[in-house]
Chain A
Amino acid sequence: MFTSTNENNSFMRKKIKAFFLIFFTTSFALLSAQNISVSGTVADETGTPLPGVTILVKGTKKGTATDFNGKYNISVAEGTTLVISSIGYKKQEQVVSGSTLNITMVEDASVLGEVMITAEFGQKRAERGVGAATQTIDGSTITESGRENFITALSGRVPGLQISSTSGAPGASSNVVLRNITSISGSNQPLYVVDGVPMNNSSFDPNGMAGGATSEYSVNNSDFSSRGNDFNPEDVESITVLKGAGAAALYGSDASNGAIIITTKKGKAGKGRVTFSNYIKLSNAYGYPEMQDKYANGARGTTNYYYTSKYGGLYPDGQQLYDNVDAILQTGVQQRYNVAVEGGSDKATIRASFSQLNETGVIKTTEYERTNLSLSGRAQITDWLKFEGSMQYTGTENNKVRRGTESPLYRAMLWPVVDDMSNYLAEDGLHMRNPEYYHDVDLLNPLFDMYNNKYYDESDRILGNVSLNFTPIKNAFLRAQVGWDVANQTYVSSRNPYYAYNNAGDGSYSLVNSNYSDPSINILSGYDNKFLDDKLSVSAQVGYHQLENKITRASTYGTNFIDASFQSINNVDPLTIVSKQRNTKRRVQGISGQFQVGYNNMAFLTFRARNDWSSTLPKENNSYFYPSIEGSFVLSDLDFIKEIEAINYIKLRGSWSQVGKDANPLQIDPELQTTGLTGGGYKYGFTGPNRNLKPEITTGQEVGVDFRLFKNRVKGTFSYFETENSNQIIQGFRLSYATGFVLNTLNVGTFETKGWEAAIDVDVLKTKDLTWNVGVNGSHGTSEVVYLPENVTEYYNAYTWLSGNIRTGISVGNPITSLTGRAYERNDNGDILISPTSGLPLTSSEWSNLGNREPDLRFGITTRLKYKNLTLSGLFSGRLGATVVNGTKRYMMQRGTSWESVELREGPDQVFEGVIKDGNENTANPTTNTISVDYGTYGSSIFTGGDEDWIEKDIKYIRLRELRLAYRLPDDLLKKSKLLNSMNLYFVANDLFTWTNYSGIDAVGNAVSAAAGGVGGEGYDVMAIPNPRSYSIGLSIILN
């Protein structure tokens, strides 16, 4: 049809522009009112106002919903019958007879209305018919969390949702995994969907860019924002989490890790209103380890400021010591302002919002700024045509510091405490000052780094979608949706020439411009009807889906600054400038189908299938079909169970599904590179092509139960799942160089995961004035590698090689989150072998399995106590039985900066438990070690120990993530003010306390940027500042 992709592109662009035009003109034109205005409050039997109650004109789909205060406003003709419904309450009808109509809802414990969940493409599905686990989070939960991004706000609230932030720094990326890791080298993030349109949640991946091999740009030392952080939490109406491949099967490849579905606020019908909210938040770093201040730099008890390690003598009396760690810290301040206006009629609603977030971090110089502007609305255009649309603009700016062993914390801990580090400039005001006393020149002042180097990114992004819903005939619909997520991102990394040992650097400047453009089209058509006296329900749906991910990157890198203090690519030696470009495009077309039969609204069977065609696979393998089947049975609708009053609802469910997954772009053909050798020409790069790549397949099955008991006061859910990930497309898989390559892209790994998720929510107290609710959720998952090529003993993610020789090693029979390292040598009996000469344990030269990072249990606890207008709520999250790599402590031991190292050196001589490796170690009478070792006589090496020493097992951890006290101004007070509709004041404390048996900085740290993909760096604690403790105070006002 189209002769070239360019034409195709511009055609589509025009089409999208046309839709936007329609969107803006129609949404404003339709805001006209009619009839009389009816308003009132909807409350429950105790008088508590009920928000979100649906009020419909009988026989139509026109209507409204109550607001936060249970109030509603609708324009209808007098005498109209209104149908008022809400989940858990009996549906009732009221005839309009005046301008005020207050309604009292009666709880309906036994019969539940149609609870709908948001499924794929913004479609609603009856919760009863869904066979896989889903969970919906209300938008207010997100806004009330005190978090600046919605991803962090979800943490602890959804069983099976693991969120690991890469640091507590402003704008840090987050790694999100639903259920379990499903890919050992690719992305494990779920698909984010906003109003039916995929949202890009990428983090910057520095590999392959100009200057990319330098430490300025690596996933261990640098981190740039995840694009998911862009979304304004205030725009969220609700979030539905579709877990596992099954729940999101219709989304195809990208949702094989599950999906997080965001529905945005579209404005409410009735009286227009203005919402204003803001908060101010103060944060302080805590939880970083204390440094010893007893012994000075040196070795073997002798002070010598030539050493960075602190194994010297005692500081002389009266010696002034400085808290150099404190010198890099400050109180972080965060402020957010949000204004939203909304209004409309039962025909059309519109909402616009503006939000500004300014944040400074707990580490000096770190900053994050975000501006959100959004516009959304919906309109019933004709009887058969409905329109919805939303658009969000986000602008961000982020100043960061580096991480891990390049971090200010690590460097500050190296600085001799006899010297005031905060005085970081040399006398000329330009060079980096070397510390007093210290004689070597291998220390870098982190403050010089922070104030003279730059790790910065900024972005402008627009995420928009429009959809049209046709109902050409009764019981049928056609929905067409176009979405577009497009962003322009700039990354700067600049290094001052004097930020180098002996001030002898060249300076370097790296600039990367990375744009993406993700347009998508989804067309769905469906039909549903009921037969046999409404006993048999049938619904069918087919869809066509198309999406593109286009990335355009250009980068330039140069060194040798002309003016040391000026940061620009124009300030480098022109001869050193290297530039690179990288452009990729991925396109997927898909056809989906769904067929559901239901009996008596009690038993449902759903068949779903999708076929994708992906541009990233070889032509002969680029089409892949995957089916799924779901069943659900509402046990509580059986007559004999209906009689049991305590049981309100029990649903049994199960599903089996497959999801195919394509490769990343450009994995099929080789990529030739220019060489840096005389004569130039071309050569292959590290990675070999694979012309036979096949789609990888995730097969999942789950069973579960959802229930509500005791007048719905107890709600619970439980799921057990198993998945098999086969034909894994592994990038960077290593085999013998006889392949002709160092790295290969292959379909090689197969592994299985299984686990469970459970949640229970109890209204412990429920009276008119006092309610107390407690929720507990937990999840457990295990995995096992089933197949790797026979000759490969271990596959590892090189970026997890962060502390000693510990890394994430994947081998057959072990979990994919296994840690491997060089264990101590042991005899057949398992005793550690001791060197007969030194008395020290011997370390094996081979890598072996040392532990599993995946905890036995991840859990969250929520609690909410409400007394009249006062609400106190809390959120705890934690883990049990985790294994953590304590890289921080290892570094501190090596440098002698920890108090533990002081204890060791001052302690008695130590005899390591084990047997001497003297040839008798495997006989019946091995020689027990009796050689005592005096730590004091050793330099730093002995304190560093072996890999096994830094793996802490069975870590228990619980953190009070959120404590919130909110006060809503009473109605009578509000009535006096004509202006105010409602007013809330609140105080939130985040990350207040952590209880743990872990001895490092952060047991839930993640030492790797989310950009890395694969198994990630959760469970590696390497000198990262944990989430700071913060307090915020906020205000939210709705104006009349």
Chain B
Amino acid sequence: MKKKFIYILSLFFSLVSCEEYLDVNTNVDGPSYADGYLYLANITQQYNGVYWDGRALAPMAQMWGTTSYSNFALNYYNVGSDSAGEIWRMTYWNQGQNLENMINQSIAAEDWTLAGIGYAMKAFSWDLLTKVHGELPMTDAFVPDLLSHDYDYQKEIYAQVREWAYKSIELLERADDHVYADKISSNDFIYEGNKDKWIKFAYAVIVRNLSSLTNKTDFTSTYAQELIDAASKSFQSPDDDATVSIAGGSQSAPFSSFNNFWGTARGNLLDNYFQHEYAVQVFTGTVPDYDEATGDKTNLEFANEYYPYALAENQIITDTLVNEPGHFDPRATVKLSTTSNTNYENLSNADSVKTYQYFGGTFTSASGPIGTAPSVYGRIANSAYEGAEHDGTGRWLFRDDAPYVMTTYAEIQFCLAEAYWKTNQTTLAFDAFKRGVSADMQTSARYIKTGSSGSPTGGDKITSALFNTLADEYLEGPFVAGLTDFSLSHIMMQKWVSLYPWGAAEAWVDMRKYHFDVDYTGEYPSEGNGWTQTTVEQKWDTNPSKVYKGLYLSPAQVQGRKGTYNINNEGSPSYRIRPRFNSEYMWNLKSLEILTPISGTAPNYHTSIPWFAYPGELPQ
């Protein structure tokens, strides 16, 4: 019996095993590791997040009005909400660890090209992120096991962004004899693996980074030359523009996110986003004249419905009312939308195209001072891709298959022009300015998809050929080549036009660094020195130091803009978007709280002036 017992005992203990028995915690349905290049497509495509938040930023840069992000349009924010937190989510999570892995794995494998591309994108994303939000957890980001993530100040983040960009250049310039076949080219939706263009892109990141510092007191001594040098090694023509190409496919796409965020298929720009009256004023040369005593516009005695007000003498971009060659900027036709020519007739006829009427809305209502602003697709209706009358796949950049624009040669040239201007190299500035405007014409023309004549089914209301003809005339005309009173306003406002609306984030950077042309003295615009609890005194358009002619905040002293900010603003416009609520205010509060000079938890944190826009060093 004992024998039996021992036999049975040993039989059971044969089941007692070894380590392998426990080795079953492997995910058989999803990999835990992927080669670096397999992350690349996703990282590039995540830049659609910029268009997501662009809907909050464009109203802050007075490009658009909105009924959705109205709190942002009014220089406040959505309390307790994640809105306008998508760039945050993109940088930390959607690219985040994926990008870190791609860089680290590539460096370990000595895949210098892939690592260099990674660093370039990392620099671009963090530059954008700090410009929108200011202080960020950077040193603590992606460190495993941390339960709190302290913030780095913007000054350090700025330096780090450029360091990453230079690191990128260094890696990309290294000899890399690895055979990638199509591993990079088929996953890189920005430059298809073109190393030279990536190097130029990394320099563009440096230019854009330094360009936001032009109003700092030490710009000329510390940053100007670095900017000028980087610009020379950056983009050489609009062919180098950084864009993210997408598959599109509209309704037959396997995933709707194959389509552009601003296309009709995604339904993200119904009729709740529309061009701002300021955009219409700038693009069509109809910035009104305000009575400096009352702030009122002057009604014309013989006004027609479309031009009811007297216009300011000094229009910067164009003077459409003067119907002479060179006075018409054709970009209005594509960048703005119009309800004119509903049936898409005579799209190659200049006289017809020039008669289109453009209406802009206010910050929070499509119903503007002159007329109702249509959707970006050109109808006073929600976007639609089917029905008797519809928007098709959209138009221009607002099209299902339009690539996402990240930065352009034009933008870099305007940055260069501004740097030359600041360093008193006016002739060089004027040359860069002209290259910039010309380049933006080419960039703008590239995305034209002319509608079908007689068919109200979407598309642009101009042909590319006509656009180019009008563009050439304009470039030779009195507002570009023939300019006699070249000024900083021309550089900055043409830059603003070129950024419309894809570069709203950068346009907002420029507006903030010039402090929205708030009328202040001394180095620090603040309550009592530029604004009070209730009003912001802005420079009049006649003031030569005013950069953005016609730009008035809401509230300001002019007609249609009088009012008050949210009481928490303490009279100040918004200078940053608060960090994403459900990342920081819910789960990282203590770290946010200790920020200076204004605590991240203060009711007016969104008015805290970021370092880049602050003339000197911030008070602590």
Within 8 A of A (CB), among B57-94: 79-80, 88-89, 92-94
> Which chain B residue lies CB-closest to A789?
B147
How far is the CB of B77 from the nearest CB of chain A, in Å?
11
Closest to A668 in B: B25
Q: Is B322's beta carbon under 8 Å from chain A?
A: no
Flag the segment in A389-397, A732-740, A985-993, A1000-1008 that touches B: A732-740
- Expressed in whole angstroms, the minimum distance between the Cβ of B387 and any Cβ of chain A is 14
Q: Which B residues touch A613, using CB under 8 A?
A: 22
A691 to B583, CA, bound (A): 22
CB-CB under 8 A for A738 and B18, given A680-B41, A789-B147, A790-B590: no
State whether A470 and B145 are in contact (beta carbons under 8 Å apart), knowing that A1-B18, A665-B25 are contacts in the complex. no
Binary CB contact string for chain B from 3 to 20 against chain A (1 if under 8 A, 0 otherwise)? 001001100111111101
Q: A579-601: which residues lie under 8 A (CB-CB) from chain B? A: 580-583, 585-587, 589
Q: Which residues of A contact B33 (CB under 8 A)?
A: 672
Q: Does any Cβ of A come within 8 Å of B591's Cβ?
A: yes
**Shortest beta-carbon distance, A693 to chain B, in Å?**
11
If the complex has contacts A677-B42, A677-B258, A737-B92, are A480 and B586 also in contact, measured as CB distance less than 8 A? Answer: no
- Taking the closest CB of chain A, its distance from the CB of B140, in whole angstroms, is 6
Q: Is the CB of A677 within 8 A of B41?
A: yes
The size bracket of the interface on B is: 35 or more
Cβ-defined contact, B80 with A845, below 8 A: yes
Tell me, in angstroms, the Cα distance from A581 to B30 when the chains sit together.
Answer: 10
Measured CA separation A581–B586 after assembly (Å): 34
Chain B binding surface, main DSSP class: loop
- Whether A679 and B187, one on each chain, are in contact in the complex, defined by CB atoms closer than 8 angstroms, is yes
- List of A residues within 8 angstroms of B582 by Cβ: 734
Q: Does B27 contact A (CB under 8 A)?
A: yes
Asked if B39 and A682 sit within 8 Å, CB to CB, the answer is yes
Query: Closest approach, in angstroms, between the C-beta of A263 and any C-beta of chain B?
Result: 23
Tell yes or no: B304 within 8 A of A by CB.
Answer: no
- Whether A675 lies near B45 (C-beta < 8 A) is yes
Beta-carbon contact of A2 and B18 below 8 Å: yes
**B14 neighbours in A (Cβ, 8 Å):** 1
B34 interface residue (CB < 8 Å to A): yes
Measured CB to CB, the closest approach of chain A to B47, in angstroms, equals 10
Query: For residues 555 through 589 of chain A, which have their beta carbon under 8 Å from a beta carbon of chain B?
Result: 575, 580-583, 585-587, 589
Residues of chain B within 8 A of A580, CB atoms compared: 29
Collect the chain B residues with CB atoms within 8 Å of residue A622's CB: 22
Question: Closest Cβ of chain A: how far from B350's Cβ, in Å?
Answer: 37
Q: Assess whether A616 is interfacial by the CB under 8 Å rule.
A: yes
Is there contact, CB below 8 Å, between B38 and A682? yes
Chain B hits for A521, CB < 8 A:
12, 15
Task: Judge whether A794 and B586 touch: CB under 8 Å.
Answer: yes
- Please report which residues of chain A, range 528-570, place their CB below 8 angstroms from some CB of chain B when the two chains form the complex: 544, 546
Q: Is A320 an interface residue (CB 8 A)?
A: no
A575 to B, closest residue via Cβ: B254
B157 to chain A, nearest CB (A): 13
One of B96-104, B367-375, B407-415, B605-613 at the interface: B96-104
| Contact status B255-A791, CB under 8 Å | no
Contacts of A672 in B (CB 8 A): 30-34
B580 sits at the interface (CB 8 A): yes
Say yes or no: B147 contacts A583, CB within 8 Å: no
Per a CB cutoff under 8 Å, which of A472, A480, A738 touches B1?
A472
A523 contacts B12, CB within 8 Å?
yes
Taking CB as reference atom, which chain B residue is nearest A746?
B147
Q: Which B536-591 residues have a C-beta within 8 angstroms of A?
A: 580, 582-584, 586-591
Interface presence of A614 (CB below 8 A) = yes
Q: Is A910 an interface position by the 8 A CB rule?
A: no
Contact check, A740 vs B96: say whether CB atoms are below 8 A apart.
Answer: yes
Q: Which of B22, B45, B590 is A615 in contact with, Cβ under 8 Å? A: B22
Chain A residues contacting B591 (CB-CB under 8 Å) are: 736, 791
User: Which partner residue on chain A sits nearest B24 by CB separation?
Assistant: A585
The digit string for A675-689, where 1 denotes a CB below 8 A from any CB of B, is 111111111110011
CB–CB A682/B31 < 8 A: yes
Compute how far the CA of A464 lies from the CA of B171 in the bound complex, rounded to whole angstroms: 63
Evaluate contact between A666 and B79: CB separation under 8 angstroms: no
Cβ 8 A contact of A616, one of B5, B8, B25, B96: B25
Set of chain B residues within 8 Å of A523, measured between Cβ atoms: 12-13
Q: With A521-B15, A678-B41 in contact, do A684 and B29 touch (Cβ < 8 Å)?
A: no
A742 within 8 A of B: yes
A614 & B22 in contact (Cβ 8 Å cutoff): yes
Kindly state whether residue A925 has any CB partner on chain B within 8 Å.
Answer: no
CB pair B590–A791 under 8 Å, yes or no, is: yes
Residue of A nearest to B11 (CB): A15
The chain B residue sitting closest to A733, CB to CB, is B587
With A523-B12, A739-B146 known as contacts, the answer to whether A1 contacts B46 (CB < 8 A) is no
Q: Chain A residues near B30: list those with CB within 8 A.
A: 671-673, 685
Partner of B137, one of A2, A582, A670, A736: A736
Structural contact, A12 and B15, CB atoms closer than 8 A = yes
Query: How far is it, in angstroms, between the C-alpha of A675 and the C-alpha of B257 when the chains are bound?
Result: 10
Assess the B589–A793 pair: CB atoms within 8 A. yes
Which of chain A's residues have a CB closer than 8 A to the CB of B247? 678-679
Using known A-B contacts A589-B21, A615-B23, determine if residue A682 contacts B42 with beta carbons closer than 8 Å: yes
CB distance from A728 to the nearest CB of B (A): 13
Contact with A581, one of B29, B80, B136, B584 (Cβ below 8 angstroms): B29
Chain A, Cβ-Cβ closest to B148: A791
Interface pair B22/A480, CB less than 8 Å apart: no
Q: Is B48 an interface position by the 8 A CB rule?
A: yes
Binary contact track A653-665/B, C-beta < 8 Å → 1, others 0: 0000000000001
A470 touches B189 (CB 8 A): no
**Cα distance, A843 to B57, chains bound together (Å):** 28
Q: Which residues of A contact B5 (CB under 8 A)?
A: 384, 470, 472, 478
Neighbouring A residues of B141 by C-beta, 8 Å: 738, 740
A862 to B18, CA, bound (A): 51
A790 to chain B, nearest CB (A): 5
Q: Which of B28, B34, B41, B588 has the most CB of A within 10 A?
A: B588
From B9, B22, B97, B258, contact of A478 by CB (8 A): B9
CB distance from B354 to the nearest CB of A (A): 37
Identify B17's interface contact among A8, A676, A688, CB under 8 A. Answer: A8
Taking a contact as CB atoms under 8 Å apart, the answer to whether B148 and A692 are in contact is: no
Q: Which residues, 338 to 386 on A, are CB-close (under 8 Å) to B? A: 384
Question: Inside 8 A of A794's CB, which chain B residues have their CB?
Answer: 586
Residue of B nearest to A522 (CB): B12
In-complex Cβ contact of A740 among B13, B39, B88, B142 (8 A): B142
Interface: B178 (CB within 8 A): no
Q: A478 vs B12: C-alpha distance in the bound complex, in angstroms? A: 11
Query: In residues 451-493 of chain B, which contact A (Cβ within 8 Å)?
Result: none
Q: Is A923 an interface residue (CB 8 A)?
A: no
Is A25 part of the binding interface, using a Cβ–Cβ cutoff of 8 Å? no
- Given known A-B contacts A681-B42, A683-B42, A587 and B31 have beta carbons under 8 A apart: no
A769 within 8 A of B: no
Residue A35 at the chain B interface, CB threshold 8 Å: no
- A748 CB within 8 Å of chain B: yes
Inter-chain contact A681/B41, CB cutoff 8 Å: yes
Task: Report yes or no: A5 in contact with B24, Cβ–Cβ below 8 A.
Answer: yes
Given A1-B18, A741-B93, answer yes or no on A679-B583 (Cβ-Cβ < 8 Å): no
* A670 B32 Cβ-Cβ under 8 A: yes
| Residue of A whose beta carbon sits closest to that of B141 | A738
Is A740 touching B97 in the complex (CB atoms < 8 A)? yes
Is the Cβ of A688 less than 8 Å from the Cβ of B97?
yes
- What are 11 A-B contacts with C-beta separation under 8 Å? A470-B5, A615-B21, A677-B42, A677-B258, A679-B41, A683-B42, A738-B149, A739-B92, A740-B93, A791-B589, A792-B587
A sample of 7 more A-B contacts (CB under 8 A), given A1-B17, A740-B93, is A676-B255, A677-B258, A682-B98, A736-B92, A736-B584, A737-B89, A794-B586
List 4 A-B pairs, minimum CB-CB distance, nearest first: A679-B41, A676-B255, A740-B97, A736-B588
| B interface list, Cβ under 8 A from A | 1-2, 5, 8-9, 12-18, 20-34, 38-42, 44-46, 48, 79-80, 88-89, 92-94, 96-98, 100, 136-137, 140-142, 144-149, 186-187, 189, 245-247, 254-258, 580, 582-584, 586-591
